[in-house]
Amino acid sequence: MVQLGYNAGPRDLRVFQLAKSYTKNLDEETKADHDTEVIAAVTITRAVAKAWLPLDITNKIEDTLEENGLPRIATRNIAAGSGYQIQFRGLAYNFPTFERAPPEAYFTYGYSASYHKDPCYVSGVCGISLNVGRTVNPPPSSTLATPGLRQTRSQTRAGSAPGQIDSTSEDFSKWPANGGGNFVDMTLRVVVHQAAGTLFAFNPAMGHGTTRLCGATNYLAAITFSSRIYKAFQLAQTGSIEAGDKAGDGNFDELNVD
């Protein structure tokens, strides 16, 4: 998972800043090129959402951003403003006046999550997810005796790819034929089966998560509206915390911004 746009810094630091999205030491031109593509991808995701989702959802999002003066998406290498650019078949297409996406977005690869809730500053249905690609690896041919054990965090950290399972502790006969990694709204008891091109909106404040991956890998673009980032923005506006690339002093828990 990669966070794009603005964030609130680590929990033990007080700052409203643009997220740092690179772990590799890349030159500035390369990072700017990547970020140009990122802003285009997220802004196109917003445009698709505005074209296909109900107006009461998209209008509420736009009204909340406007009423609270929140910035549009930017990066440390691409300044805030309007417009985006895409490259297609060797040509650059510029849309300089097009309004960008909201200030917070994520790209995920092989994402899965247990039950959780995400407080948001936009009320009700506001989280947007667009599946831009999906692959499903078939399970190994052998079915092992020990059923039902999930991949552990230590196995994930050790470098196994999304959807991989420890083959010594899994009953592959229980894997669904089309893989897992599907979105689940626990409150509504609804499952959204993922496929490339799937677009949906949900209420992040309601309990949600995913099914097990079972060999599936989803490539997702998501636009969200975290309360923590909004409260950091409010504090930065009043000068209570620093706005920029460096952390200030203090603890977010003491400021009650979660």
**d(C-alpha 154, C-alpha 152), whole Å:** 5
Is residue 73 within 8 A of residue 81, CB to CB? The reply is no
The architecture in CATH of the region 2-139+175-243 reads Sandwich (2.60)
Each residue's pLDDT tens digit, 140-184:
764 443 444 444 433 333 344 555 555 667 888 889 989 999 999
Q: What is the pTM of this model?
A: 0.82
Count Cβ atoms within 10 A of the Cβ of residue 51 and give its class: 0-12 exposed, 13-18 middle, 19 or more buried: exposed
Query: At which residue do the structure tokens 């499952």 appear?
Result: 191
Looking at residue 65, its pLDDT comes to 96
- Is the Cβ–Cβ distance between 248 and 15 less than 8 Å? yes
Predicted local confidence at residue 25, as pLDDT: 83
**Span 225-250, pLDDT tens digits:** 999 999 989 988 887 766 655 433 33
Q: What is the domain partition of the chain in residue ranges?
A: 2-139+175-243
pLDDT beneath 50: ranges in the chain: 142-160, 246-258
